[in-house]
Structure 1
């Protein structure tokens, strides 16, 4: 019997009250965490939101708890936009969604930052003794982060991808104890790496995964895998690959799995992270059963039950309802009460 883990890819929606408070702070710089004065008020606001996010997940009884990434105004680009050797360019569209972020323009060496580690340390304190078993770190995968950025320093695509990978690995090494690391790689399927780059992208993911002893999930969404990049990704030493069962072509993903296999664990995007319609828990369980039925050659050690994409697209009330749906659906799977 598979171990069913209810979790999310993070990036939660900022509550309306916090949005108003942060926008009212004069001179607010996005992502500002300095102490004292107005910066201190911004930090305090984000700290309160982090506490709400952790409490919401504990109340919903999620198996893995994320920090929530309230400060990630620039979505997956965040780890670069707060880096000292990165300039934030103009506003660009975030994939095919009506969301936007500032273009991170890398102008110097990508040395250690520690920004995400500081967030996770704060979340670990809120979880207390449960942190090592429940805390889930979230990062953009190296291919996606390089894809979202503009290189104005390294001058070579392969060198830049390697630098982004090395940067992320250094950040991961500073993380507090955590149970799981979700590497979010939507670009790996929406703008799949071509010949040569696909192998390097897999190696970059492998390097980041090697920086932690936690379980590593490469979570993709919005589209299905191309076969060759998928085959290379299977060479990366990660514990699970995530498949979008909401928006992507399920048949194409199944072809990759049946041709090349998949990891011993799997992550399934079962709940729509962008649509306000709240699924029934039974729908979640039925989608897990559907996947199990069509991958008869494999019995997964762990099945991560998650939303297909980040949750910042949703109103807070719908976001909270979807957390409960994930947990209740996972429990139905564990009980073996639902068939495809």
Structure 2
């Protein structure tokens, strides 16, 4: 029988009080904070906020609990932005929206950092259902600038090795969500598409947890998707909020892994969905597939949720949990 699991791709909005406290401490907006060198007062704010968002996920009965990535002021670029071998430069638009990050410029070998592992170690003290979150290697390389490795394929492989080393230091976790929007928005061309799959494989091999490669802001090109299925991963995530037909086509034409992640709740829109509507959206997908005997179906938002007001974010956690429960009662 299919198991329905409620979760998120992480990158949560800060609680309102934490935004205010951080603004007072730093004197400017959150996206201008310099990650990685916070003083004790700022660290204390993040620790308290982390405890709060973990508590909110427990209160909502979410099946998998994210650390929240509240310190990720540079969003998916964060693991490089705080690295000793990286210089952060000007502010760059984050994909095609009104969020920004500091451009990470890699200037030396990407050795071990441990920044994300430290965050997860703190979170692991508060939950037994930990879900780790990282940028996928292709997206992280796409968001960065290379001034050290020399060519695109070598740089992508180096980023994958770096992320794999970080994962090896993680505390025990149930799942690892690798966020790969760049596979959609800036699809790799011939040759690099296969290298992107190999890079994902490198990171996935570093953990014994289930690995979900979550893609969003559209649908993967057919060849990119076919190569991604060659990686040793447990599930691909599909953004059924932004693009329904092309994502459905990929599933119909190329199949899927034994598990699947469905982005059915809008991570950017403040409209709060009804749990029954989310369940119906899942059924709409499954009714159109030749095979629906997935071992696990992850129900999630289509994108990160840091775009949302904090109260709406809380409400959407409850929607996901309720939708998973409904789906278990009336499976597709």
Query: Which stretches in structure 1 are left out of the alignment for 5+ residues?
Result: none
Match of 1:305 among 299, 307, 319: 299
TM-score by length of 2: 0.97
Kept in 2, the 8 Å contact 1:33–1:43? The answer is: no
Q: Distance in 2 between matches of 1:293 and 1:209?
A: 30
Deviations 1:71-109 (A, max 9, x none): 000000000000001011111111111111111111111
Determine if the alignment matches structure 1 residue 319 to structure 2 residue 313.
Answer: yes
Deviation at 1:30, TM superposition (A): 2.3
Deviations 1:33-74 (A, max 9, x none): 55xxxx000110100000001000000000000000110000
Kept in 2, the 8 Å contact 1:30–1:71? The answer is: no
* Secondary structure in 2 matching 1:25: helix
Query: Which stretches in structure 2 are left out of the alignment for 5+ residues?
Result: none
Q: Distance in 1 between matches of 2:37 and 2:277?
A: 40
Match of 1:252 among 238, 246, 265: 246
Deviation at 1:32, TM superposition (A): 3.9
Correspondence list, 1:1-340, <5 A:
1-26=1-26, 29-32=33-36, 39-127=39-127, 130=128, 134-248=129-243, 250-336=244-330
Q: Distance in 1 between matches of 2:292 and 2:245?
A: 17
Which of 305-314 and 93-102 deviates more?
93-102
Q: Distance in 2 between matches of 1:261 and 1:111?
A: 37
Q: Distance in 2 between matches of 1:231 and 1:24?
A: 49
Q: Distance in 2 between matches of 1:280 and 1:168?
A: 37
- State the Cα RMSD in Å: 1.3
Deviations 1:90-142 (A, max 9, x none): 11111111111111111111000000000000000112xx2xxx100000000
